[in-house]
Amino acid sequence: MKVFVTGGAGYIGSVCVEELINAGHAVTVYDNLTEGHRSAVDERAVFVQGDSGKEGGIARAVAAAGPDAILHFAANALVGESMTNPGKYFRNNVAWGLELLEAAVAAKVRKFVFSSTCATYGPPDRVPMTEDLPQRPINPYGESKLMFEKMLNWYHQIHGLEFVAFRYFNAAGASPRFGEHHRIESHLIPNVLKVPLGQAQQCEIFGTDYPTPDGTCIRDYIHIVDLAQAHMLAMAPGKQGFYNLGNGDGYSVRQVIETCERISGCKIPAVEKPRRPGDPPKLVASAQRAITDLGWRPQYPKLEDIVATAWAWHQKHPTGYPD
Ligand code: UDP
């Protein structure tokens, strides 16, 4: 298939592009490189540097590529930042996304795969979380992704656009080639690994008074190669709807730090900080629907293995990508 990948220079997008090309697809990456890195784009892909400020740019790029499918990873994705700059999230994730949807319809794209998030649920009434739980986001990031999900649903009903929206839990780990490098890093695992890399004296724990066994937030970490595999399965004709992607295991911030200590063989001191606004206490997926409907089988469900691949990548790329 011809596949158009927005955000293909970003963390999850880069690994997905690699897997797509390995599977024989022809890929065009569209990325404005504000978050992504040029050197994270597989050299076998066509690269188009986008400029979201330029009107009509995305429509022209989609029309020129003439894709069978669009995989839409490009987004701003930081809970904390969205609580101080909501406009950035609604502009880039919703308004810009709408332009892409219009372009998809105009170019008669057959399949649209969207990176959504467990942050669309807000604090859940029960865990593990199934797709039918009410969606009540508590930060603009989750709200912006929910708004896009709703637009997708209408485009499906009105224009017949077939879509799969994946609600990712916490993406982590690396492929041997591509890993996690955010210019401003706010994610737990890469920040904790800065200590054994010798780039930080200590890591930080945001909130120790949550209603969880050790008082720190619980998340469901999922390997990005497993996320990428789910996208391959979603491209099959007839696959349609909303799917959670997680492993069904919750790990607290303290447990993640302990795992990083075991994998790196290094003591990692942690300082306790106040809660980060917008963080729900516990998010754990049920991915049963993806397992049943898509035949998805995670290869790296264990946190140890996820952290081991992240640690291997960071050791090889201690300062991340060169650009
Ligand atoms: N967190 C932390 N210290 C850090 C980074 C994150 O304690 O340096 C916590 C954060 O408050 C959240 C969890 O770790 O409870 C996962 O955060 P991350 O930013 O990795 O992912 P999110 O769940 O926000 O998508």
Measured from the Cα of 276, ligand 1's closest atom is 11
pLDDT of res. 271:
98
188-219+249-316: CATH number: 3.90.25.10
* Rounded to 5°, angle at Cα 315 from 312 and 318: 135
How far is ligand 1, taken at its centre, from the CA of residue 186, in Å? 7
Tell me the residue length of the chain.
Answer: 323
Q: Which residue's alpha carbon is at the smallest distance from atom 7 of ligand 1?
A: 205
The contacts of residue 158 (CB under 8 Å, 6+ apart) are none
pLDDT of res. 52:
63
- Classify residue 129 by its DSSP letter: B
The three-class DSSP label of residue 213 is coil
Q: Which two tokens stand for residue 43?
A: 């050299």
- Owner of token pair 């490189």: 33
The pLDDT profile of the chain, 323 residues, written as one tens digit per residue, is 999 999 999 999 999 999 999 999 999 999 999 999 999 999 999 999 997 667 789 999 999 999 999 999 999 999 999 999 999 999 999 999 999 999 999 999 999 999 999 999 999 999 999 999 999 999 999 999 999 999 999 999 999 999 999 999 999 999 999 999 999 999 999 999 999 999 999 999 999 999 999 999 999 999 999 999 999 999 999 999 999 999 999 999 999 999 999 999 999 999 999 999 989 999 999 999 999 999 999 999 999 999 999 999 999 999 999 99
Helix axes 253-264, 303-316, angle to 10 degrees: 60
pLDDT of res. 86:
98
Q: Which amino acid is at 308?
A: A
Sign of CA dihedral 317, 319, 320, 323: negative
- First and final CA of the chain: distance in angstroms? 30
* Fold of the domain spanning 2-172+221-245: Rossmann fold (3.40.50)
* Rounded to 5°, angle at Cα 134 from 132 and 135: 110
* Same fold: 2-172+221-245 with 188-219+249-316: no
H/E stretch holding 204 reads strand 203-206
> What's the chain's Rg over C-alpha atoms?
19
| Residues linked to residue 4 through DSSP beta bridges, in sequence order | 28, 70
Output the ligand 1 site: residues, CB below 6 A. Answer: 79, 170, 186-188, 191, 203-206, 217, 219, 253, 276, 279
How do the domains of the chain map onto residue ranges? 2-172+221-245, 188-219+249-316
* Alpha helix positions (H), 109-241: 140-159, 188-193, 224-234
How much is the pTM? 0.97
For residue 131, CA distances in Å to 102, 241, 283, 288 come to 26, 10, 13, 10
pLDDT of res. 46:
98
The three-class DSSP label of residue 244 is strand
pLDDT of res. 56:
84
Whether 174 contacts 315, CB under 8 Å: no
Whether 221 contacts 172, CB under 8 Å: yes
The contacts of residue 20 (CB under 8 Å, 6+ apart) are 3, 5, 27, 71, 228, 231, 232
**Substitution candidate for ligand 1 out of 76, 139, 188 with most atoms within 8 A of CB:** 188
Q: Which amino acid is at 30?
A: Y
